Amino acid sequence: MASPPAVLVQDLSYRYRTRRELALHRCSFRARRGELLLVAGASGCGKTTLMRCLNGLIPRAYKGGDLSGTIRLLGRDPAPLKLAEISRMVGTVLQDPEKQIVGAYVLNDVAFGLENLGFPRGEILRRVDRVLEFLEIAHLRDRPTFALSGGEKQKVAVAGVLAMEPDIILLDEPLANLDPAGADEVLRLVRRLVEAGKTVVLIEHRVEDVLAAEPDMALFLDAGEQRYFGDLAGFLEAVDPRDVKLPAPLAIARLRGVEVPEPPPRRPRRPDAEPLVVLEDVWFGYEPERPVLQGVSLELRPGDVVALLGPNGAGKSTLVRQIIGLQRPQQGRVWVAGRDARTMTVAQIAATVGYVFQSPTHMLFAPTVWEEMAFGPRNLGFDEARVERNVRRSLEIVDLVGYEGVSPLALSYGQQRRVGIGAILAMESRLLIMDEPTAGQDYRHYTRFMDAVVRMPFEAILFITHDVDLAVRYANRVILMAEGRIAADGPPEEVLGDFALLERCRVRPTSLLELNVEALPRTGRFLPLERLGAFLDVA
């Protein structure tokens, strides 16, 4: 007799207590032991709700909603089981690692789940060390978790789940905060887990990257509705490349003859304009013997649209914290709008520099989306008419019209990120800085709001990203960091066209970048996907 599938879902529907519409509607699929199931769809389409149904948080933590349909895990009905029992079968890696890390040090955090399950100390240490070696982060074992980069926190969260050795593993956007090389490592790990007999359900927007892990099956959700379930080849044919980011050759071929909005032109740089921000020989470290920034000097001028690239732990977020005043250089100096930042408060700096945090939970606190977006401009002294105008414009740009009265914390992770971006947009800052603005975002939403952002009257924009395609599409300047120093600073064609340099800095060329380099003699500059197709013969 054949064994039952590891995950079986039939006619699953769910509506949250506070919402009128269904978050999931009659979803049906299965995943066998030793299979990798890719779950894709736009931000807010129901992917995270599906995960909560599988790991038992719905209906145990999310009470009062309407749940119907059938779920079987390893052939068992989870309905009568306690959450602790389900956690032995299903391990979950959350989209935002900040919500999963509880230990002060990496060792304590990875051991936390095993301690709660009552494992003996020797077995706990053996498992922790094994999984840290497996993920190639053994050097972080005794590191304080607060000092980790976003990508390092993601790996630690993965380690904590893997240490418990569940048969079913749910990964909710595990690549969102990882550099390309780190994403490759996680995807190789995923494939090894599948080959070892684990069932992995991978929720991810970065479909092109996930293809390297060779998903066995794919599920596509749209506004809570199941649009496709089947093999990967059928999925790639079924989805719209404007909704899901597909490999560039496939997307270009699929978009031929399809009318798409014209992307914004690249902004011209103004290298002779007075700088908005100047860093002079900035050094900083969380521990005296381990500097994170080592003599960084740069200028940000009006007209700049800067992509700040580099591997996890290179110092990108730390550099930005020097600019916005959350940290002060231990050596060197920062100037903001011609003033020494040492003489300015964080609030005074915020009048010039608006910052969108990497983790939305670091900046969301208001009871409604409207109040969240209105807080900044009100504190800058804007009159109420100006506040209302700016908030309404921000809601349109980040596609959250209709969510004005909803609590930000009731939204999906991707929607929360858009609330944070909208809050800064409403403040009319001269320089906009965004830390991983596309993490957790589907392709349609992130191109829509980035198209809108670069058209807005910010004097300059800087975004930290691991998404090389984002730099190709929007940046007129690329700064590449490695080991706390600036490895390269120049036009995208110059910096991103040096594949040997990218490899040394753990940045992997994407198919869009490779096609742009191929077409550069004819185009003269990098082009977004929609324009590049005219210069290529892609079948």
537, burial (CB in 10 Å: exposed 0-12, middle 13-18, buried 19+): exposed
pLDDT band at 436 (very low <50, low <70, confident <90, very high): confident
Mean pLDDT value across the chain? 90
Same domain, 17 and 153: yes
Backbone dihedral region for residue 41 (phi beyond 0: left; psi -120 to 50: alpha; all else: beta): left
User: Out of 71-85, 344-358, 509-523, which region has the weakest mean confidence (pLDDT)?
Assistant: 344-358
Residue type, 197: G
pLDDT for the residue numbered 530: 85
Q: Is 77 part of a structural domain of the chain?
A: yes
Which of 330, 360, 353, 354 lies closest to 342, judged by CA? 330
Token pair listed for 221: 């959700």
Same domain, 46 and 175: yes
CATH number where 24 lies? 3.40.50.300
Which of 310, 422, 408 lies closest to 377, judged by CA? 422
pLDDT band at 416 (very low <50, low <70, confident <90, very high): confident
Same domain, 377 and 249: no
Q: What is the pLDDT of residues 237-254, one digit of tens each?
A: 988 888 888 899 999 988
Same domain, 235 and 379: no
Q: Is 299 part of a structural domain of the chain?
A: no
pLDDT > 70 in the chain, percent: 98
Arithmetic mean of pLDDT, 51-74: 94
Same domain, 189 and 40: yes
Please state at what angle helix 443-455 crosses helix 413-425, rounded to 10 degrees. Answer: 0
Arithmetic mean of pLDDT, 427-452: 83
Q: Is 490 part of a structural domain of the chain?
A: no
Question: Do the beta carbons of residue 437 and residue 400 sit within 8 Å?
Answer: no
Q: Is 308 part of a structural domain of the chain?
A: no
Residue 402, classed as helix, strand or coil, is: coil
SS3 sequence of 349-384? HHCCEEEECCCHHHCCCCCCHHHHHHHHHHHCCCCH
Token pair listed for 96: 């935002």
How far, in Å, CA of 15 to CA of 23, rounded? 5
Same domain, 15 and 162: yes
Same domain, 38 and 178: yes
Q: Is 443 part of a structural domain of the chain?
A: no
DSSP string, 206-268: -HHHHGGG--SEEEEEETTEEEEEE-HHHHHHHS-TTTS---HHHHHHHHTT---PPPPPPPP
How far, in Å, CA of 91 to CA of 87, rounded? 6
pTM of the model: 0.81
Question: Do the beta carbons of residue 194 and residue 217 sit within 8 Å?
Answer: no
pLDDT for the residue numbered 380: 85
Token pair listed for 276: 């908005």
Q: Is 304 part of a structural domain of the chain?
A: no
Token pair listed for 58: 């719905």
Residue 287, classed as helix, strand or coil, is: strand
Query: Which residues 6+ apart lie within 8 Å of 477 measured at CB?
Result: 269, 304, 305, 306, 307, 489, 490, 491, 492
Work out the number of other CB atoms within 10 angstroms of the CB of residue 297: 13
pLDDT of 290 over the 90 cut? no
Q: What is the pLDDT of residues 117-166, one digit of tens each?
A: 889 999 999 999 999 998 789 999 999 998 887 668 878 988 998 898 89
Q: What is the pLDDT of residues 357-404, one digit of tens each?
A: 877 777 888 999 999 999 999 988 899 999 999 999 999 988 899 999
Cα Rg of the chain, angstroms = 23
Q: Is 107 part of a structural domain of the chain?
A: yes
Most confident range, picked from 231-235, 345-349, 413-417: 231-235
pLDDT for the residue numbered 398: 85
Same domain, 39 and 160: yes
Instruction: Using the 3D structure, point to which of 234, 255, 276 is the last residue of a domain.
Output: 255
Instruction: Using the 3D structure, point to which of 196, 224, 255 is the last residue of a domain.
Output: 255
Residue type, 37: L
Task: Say how many domains are in the chain.
Answer: 2
pLDDT band at 234 (very low <50, low <70, confident <90, very high): very high
pLDDT for the residue numbered 59: 94
Range of the domain at 52: 7-255
The DSSP bridge partners found for residue 41 are: 221
Same domain, 248 and 385: no
pLDDT of 440 over the 70 cut? no
Q: How far is CA 269 from CA 249, 299, 345, 436, 453, in A?
A: 30, 13, 29, 22, 16
228, burial (CB in 10 Å: exposed 0-12, middle 13-18, buried 19+): middle
pLDDT for the residue numbered 321: 94
Which of 383, 314, 327 lies closest to 355, judged by CA? 327
Q: Is 181 part of a structural domain of the chain?
A: yes
Question: Do the beta carbons of residue 278 and residue 286 sit within 8 Å?
Answer: no
pLDDT band at 277 (very low <50, low <70, confident <90, very high): very high
The DSSP bridge partners found for residue 169 are: 91, 200
Token pair listed for 249: 């050759």
pLDDT of 177 over the 80 cut? no
pLDDT of 1 over the 70 cut? no
Instruction: Using the 3D structure, point to which of 399, 427, 455 is the last residue of a domain.
Output: 427
Same domain, 104 and 238: yes
